[in-house]
Amino acid sequence: MNRSPLSEVDAAVVEEKLHQLCACAEDWETHCVQFISPVVEVALKEEGHDGMTNPDVYDVDVEDLMDDNLDDDEDSDDEPASDVENGAGKTEAGVKHKSTESQAPRMQLAESQVSAMEALTSLSIDLPSSYDAALLAHLEFSKMAAVERSLREGQANDTLDQLRTHLITKYAYRKGKEKVSGQKANMQANRNIRCQTELINKAAQEYRRARGAILKLGLPDKDSSYRELHAGDLSLFAMQSDDMHLGDSRRSPSWLWEDVSFAAELGESAWKDYMEEAVWVHWFHSSARCSRWCEELALLEEEM
């Protein structure tokens, strides 16, 4: 995907964050040599293994940093940017004039982005999940793996809560857009919706990374605690009667909504009231669906 260079301000922010990340990576490397490497060496000797790390699981996912908008996630029905937002309507001469004036600094910013991506690509954070699965059977190594698994499970739980919150927030923005009029208000509404879509995609990808690490650390693939997240799972239940479609009563909502405890942890705010109201709607729909299924089951048993 072709990306335009960052602005000078954004480039400075990225450079500062990259510097902080590299500093943290250096600290991690020091602790890794001190605590993890000795255990790995002992485990390798006892297991007779070559100790190659698995390149598929790393804590820094460079491709996600390059492209946050995933093709397979729930953003296909978003409102496209208007001509004003895209800068349409400029004269050809005006575009050429602007491009000529800004060519040199934009090239410098592009080179800075390339350097930043090279620095990110060179980072390798070898957590227990990045080592060969054969080492997990070793007692001391398994203790370290258990620590990472606990952290990864916390990461997955937090990310799922964020995902649920973003999905409901996006719905609220969509409903809010129906009540606004005027070009400026619609542009702002579209930006809010696209922002929530980006947050949904980021949260979904972070959950997938966390789940991948948990699977490496021993979680069975069929375990229902942390299920595989498909594009179709990134959907909200019907919150209003006009949102319902034919056949919805026979379809189960996404597994994301089997746990709605996140609404109680938002603190006292208007958002908490909105989220709790949404959860109540989901509960009543689920309760009604369960009652209908029980009635159908009872009728079927009588007919048999």
Q: Is 79 exposed, middle or buried (0-12, 13-18, 19+ CB in 10 A)?
A: middle
Q: Which residues contact 69 (CB under 8 A, 6 or more apart)?
A: 75, 197, 198, 201
Half-sphere exposure of 200 (CA within 13 A, CB side): 31
131 beta partners: 53
> Taking all residues of the chain, what is their mean pLDDT, rounded to a whole number?
74
* Type and span of the H or E element at 193: helix 183-216
Distance set, CA 157 to CA 61, 113, 211 (Å) = 19, 33, 10
pTM, full prediction = 0.67
Nearest Cα residue to 5 out of 108, 101, 110, 88:
110
| 270/135: higher pLDDT | 135
Q: What is the pLDDT of residue 203?
A: 96
Question: What average pLDDT does range 48-53 have in this prediction?
Answer: 53
What's the pLDDT tens digit per position in 186-244? 999 999 999 999 999 999 999 999 999 999 999 988 888 899 999 989 987 655 555 55
Is there a contact between 225 and 154 (Cβ–Cβ < 8 Å)? no
Q: What is the pLDDT of residue 148?
A: 95
What's the pLDDT tens digit per position in 64-79? 544 444 444 444 455 5
What's the pLDDT tens digit per position in 10-38? 778 888 888 898 899 889 889 888 988 89
How open is the CA angle 134-212-252, to the nearest 5 degrees? 135
How open is the CA angle 39-44-46, to the nearest 5 degrees? 95
- Integer Cα distance of 284 and 249 in angstroms: 12
Q: What is the pLDDT of residue 214?
A: 96
Q: Give the phi and the psi of residue 195 in degrees, each rounded to 5.
A: -60, -45
Q: What is the pLDDT of residue 114?
A: 75
- Integer Cα distance of 146 and 149 in angstroms: 5
Half-sphere exposure of 216 (CA within 13 A, CB side): 23
Token output for 185: 């208000």
53 beta partners: 131
